[in-house]
Amino acid sequence: MSDATTSAPGAASIPGDVSAAEPRARSRRRFRPNGSMIVMALYLLFLMLPIYWLLNMSLKTNAEILSGFSLWPRNLTLANYEKILTDPSWYMGYVNSIIYVTMNTVISISVALPAAYAFSRYSFMGDKHLFFWLLTNRMAPPAVFALPFFQLYSSVGLFDTHIAVALAHTLFNVPLAVWILEGFMRGVPREIDETAYIDGYSFPKFFVKIFMPLIASGIGVAAFFCFMFSWVELLLSRTLTSVDAKPIAATMTRTVSASGLDWGVLAAAGVLTILPGALVIWFVRNYIAKGFALGRV
C-alpha cells in the first residue's frame, strides 16, 4: 500500500497546496504567484540587494559614487577592475590567497582521508575522545589562537610565508574534512571493503583504486569546504602575514583605513573575492547543508 501512495502524483508538494489542485491545473497556474513564491522572492531580494549594490559600485567611477545617488551605473566603467588586475600590490593578494588556500586544501584532505576511514570503519582505543577533540578544534575561536600562532610561526621562521597560513588553517579545516568525509564514508557498505580484501587487494591499493572513486563526491565536497573556510578567514591570515604572503582580505582592510575614499576599487575587489564561491556553487548546491553541518544531515 505504501508503495502505491508514495508514487502518487503531486504528492511531493506541501499539503496546503495539494488540497484542490489537479496536476494539470497546477502546471497551468505555475506562474501565478502564491504565498510561498512571494516569501521566497522577498527573501532572495533581501539577500541579493547588498550584493547588487557592491556590484553596482564596482562599475562606477569614484566621482560618480561620491557625486550623486543612482540605482545603476550611468557611466559604466571597468576601470576599477583594471586597476586591480594590473597593480601587483592588488592582484598579488589574490595570488597569495589562492596559494595558501590550495596548499591548505591539499594538506587537509590528504591527512583527513585515512583518518576518516579509520573513524568510519574501526573502533579503537580513545576513538570517541579523539573525534570529540577534533570537533573542539573546529569550534575553537581563531581569536584565542591568533597570538600563539604569531609567536609559534615567528619562532620557527615561517612568519609571512604561505605555508604558515596553510598550516594555521588546518586547525579548523582538518577536523572539518574528517567529519565531512566520515559522514560520506559511513554511507558506503562495509561489504565492499571485505570483498576487496578477499580479492587480494592490499589496503593502499584498495583505498586508492576502489574506495576513493566511491566517495569522490564526498572528497569534492570536503575539498570545497576546506577551500571556502580558508578563503573566508581573515583574522589568522592577517596576523600571520605582512608583505610576501598578504592575502587579499588584508589588502582590502588596509585600503579602507588608509584612504577611505577609493570605494570603487574596494567594491571591485570585494566582487572578485565572491567569484570563486559563485563559480562552483552550482556543482555543490545539493551538499551545502551537509557540508556546513559537518557531514551530518
Partner 1 sequence: MNKTVNQKAWFLVLPVLILVGFSAVIPLMTVVNYSVQDTFGNNVFFWAGLDWFRDMLESERMWNALGRQLVFSSIILAIEVPLGIFVALNMPKKGFWASFCLVLMSLPLLIPWNVVGTIWQIFGRVDIGLLGYVLAKLGVNYNYTQNVIDAWATVIIMDVWHWTSLVALLAYAGLQSIPDAYYQAAKIDQASRWKVFRFIELPKMAGVLMIAILLRFMDSFMIYTEPFVVTGGGPGNATTFLSIDLVKMALGQFDLGPAAAFSLMYFLVILLISWVFYTVMTNLDKRDGV
Map the footprint of partner 1 across residues 222-281, applying CB under 8 A.
228, 231-235, 239, 249, 252-253, 256, 263, 266-267, 270, 273-274, 277-278, 281
Rounded to whole angstroms, the Cα distance separating 60 from 55 reads: 9
**Can you read off the three cell numbers belonging to residue 280?**
562552483
3-state DSSP call for residue 74? coil
Min dist CB 34 to partner 1, Å, is 10
> Does residue number 181 form part of the binding site for partner 1 (CB under 8 A)?
no
Q: Which parts of 97-116 interact with partner 1 (CB under 8 A)?
A: 107, 111-112, 114-115
> CA distances (Å), 136 to each of 7, 105, 126, 145, 174, in order?
44, 20, 15, 13, 12
Give the CA dihedral 108, 113, 116, 118, nearest 10 degrees. -130
Question: Cβ 107 to partner 1, closest distance in Å?
Answer: 7
d(CA 25, CA 45) in angstroms, rounded, equals 29
Is the Cβ of residue 79 or residue 235 nearer to partner 1 in the bound state? 235
**Residue 74 near partner 1 by CB under 8 A:** no
Q: Is 31 in the site for partner 1 (CB under 8 A)?
A: no
Answer for the pair 247, 210: CB distance below 8 angstroms, yes or no. no
Nearer to partner 1 by Cβ, of 124 and 243: the residue is 124
> Rule CB under 8 A: is residue 165 a binding residue for partner 1?
no
* Nearest-approach distance from CB 216 to partner 1, in angstroms: 20
236: amino acid identity, one letter: L
Based on the shown chain and the rule CB under 8 A, indicate whether residue 170 belongs to the binding site for partner 1: yes
Among 21, 51, 85, 208, binds partner 1 (CB under 8 A): 51
Residue 73 in contact with partner 1, rule: CB under 8 A: no
Q: Whose Cβ is closer to partner 1: residue 139's or residue 258's?
A: 139
Is the CA virtual torsion 246, 247, 248, 249 positive or negative?
Answer: negative
Distance separating alpha carbons of residues 84 and 91, to the nearest angstrom: 6
Determine if 208 is a binding residue for partner 1 (CB under 8 A).
Answer: no
Q: Which is nearer to partner 1, 48 or 216 (CB)?
A: 48
**Residue 130 near partner 1 by CB under 8 A:** yes
* Residue where the block lists cell 559537518: 294
Side-chain-side CA neighbours of 274 within 13 Å: the count stands at 14
Residue range at the interface with partner 1 (CB under 8 A); choices 61-69, 79-87, 88-96, 212-220? 61-69
